[in-house]
Amino acid sequence: MKKITSHPIAKSGHNIVLAIAALLFVAVLFYAAFFAGGAEKAKAGNQHNISGWAWSGNPDSNNDGVVDGDDNNEIGGIGWISFNCTNTSSCATVDYGVDAAADGDLSGYAWYGWEDSEEDSTIGGWISFNESDLSGCPSGSCKAKISGNSLQGWARALSYNYDDYNEDDENWDGWISLDGASYGVVKDGNDFKEFAWDASTIGGKQIGIGWIEFDPSFGGITLSSGNAPTVDISANPTLVFSGSNSTLTWTSTNAASCDASVGWSGSKALSDNEVVGPISSDTVYWLTCTNELSSTSDSVTVFIDTSTQCADGIDNDGDGQTDYPEDTSCSGLDGDDESIPVCGNTVCESGENPGNCTSDCGTVQFEEF
């Protein structure tokens, strides 16, 4: 058997550095993951917003007792794939992870590997989602990204460490398809589900790791709230009289589009203001902003002021008097017109005169000639 310390496709300098770094921490990484804590979903750290574990089948997929490196007549898995260093609290040793930008583009690295106790060696390597590593993919668009509710494009294994390789294995190209005609990884809320696929026909044999499951019974891949859109909407004023207007103001971050609903409608700018009205009843204005990762909504309610003029705190007729009992036009709090003079309140108001209200304005005075 020929001992190979790095797969031939790991040719670039940065990949070699990554592989060396991986060998330094992989024992701690996977011991903690599987023997101390088990393979469970984990929350992504601040640096990387995708986390958790994917599963790549059984290394002896045809159950013949011989793993791929020896018989090469099967497509065999590589076991657990970690998408974030927080999975095993190893970020202080090597900070790695996969990220989704607000536009859905993926970047970063996942790690697969384990310790071979019989051979006293490390098996594993890096899987890249960086666009710079994905040029020349087998078909279609190379960029790995979230589009709608599915993953598109490719990822690529950059290095592989395995003692018992035969020569055909050395030609494995590492390409991992995230979507195909009859398979693909889908996004359900913040969780990824279904399968990616890796295999290439080399020397008449299928070489690769086969199916990669993103939602195994234990583990699973999760997207955190990092790079999710936000939206905030307000109204001024929030209390109006029937038939009046209000001004809505909103701002958003990380959004690609915003759409109005309920009390208004249509596509809206990412940040703006708009006058709405006339408003005749309590109205809720709802705004939803979206990007490739998720959507979020906010709302504001404009209420109709049902208070009367004699109890609304406003000098409605401009006479310098406000509400009952100060405004002499108001006979009580239920009065709804401050401009109507009230005869008998001892104040001679506009519209009153000695001819129509002697109690307030006195009697008509006649001059003698």
pLDDT of residue 69: 44
Q: What is the mean pLDDT of the chain?
A: 77
What is d(CA 25, CA 126) in angstroms, rounded to the nearest whole number?
A: 13
Q: In the chain, pLDDT over 70 holds for what percent of residues? A: 72
pLDDT of residue 123: 66
The values of phi and psi at residue 319, to 5°, are: -95, 10
Cis peptide before 229 (omega within 30 of 0): no
- 92 pLDDT exceeds 50? yes
3-17, 175-189, 214-228, 351-365, range with the lowest pLDDT? 3-17
pLDDT digits (tens, 9 = 90+) for 237-250: 999 988 999 999 99
**Burial per residue of 271-293, b for 16 or more beta-carbon CB atoms within 10 angstroms, e otherwise:** eeeeebeebeeebebbbbbbbbb
**Among the residues of the chain, which ranges form H helices?**
13-30, 68-71, 358-361
What is d(CA 213, CA 230) in angstroms, rounded to the nearest whole number?
A: 31
Task: Report whether 195 contacts 180 (CB < 8 A).
Answer: no
| Cβ neighbours around 327 below 10 Å, total | 24
pLDDT of residue 204: 66
pLDDT of residue 340: 78
At 60 the three-state DSSP class reads coil
| Local confidence band at 210 (pLDDT 50, 70, 90 cut-offs) | confident
pLDDT digits (tens, 9 = 90+) for 289-345: 998 888 899 999 999 988 888 888 888 877 788 888 888 788 888 888 878 777 877
Task: Report whether 123 contacts 113 (CB < 8 A).
Answer: yes
- The DSSP call for residue 364 is P
For 190, counting Cβ atoms within 10 Å of its Cβ (0-12 exposed, 13-18 middle, 19+ buried), the class is middle
Task: Give the CATH number of domain 230-304.
Answer: 2.60.40.10
pLDDT of residue 108: 94
Structure tokens at 206: 């299928």
pLDDT of residue 66: 44
Handedness of CA 152, 50, 216, 78 (dihedral sign): positive
Closest listed residue to residue 98, CA positions, set 199, 214, 14: 214
- The DSSP call for residue 37 is I
| Residue limits of CATH 2.60.40.10 in the chain | 230-304
pLDDT of residue 21: 41
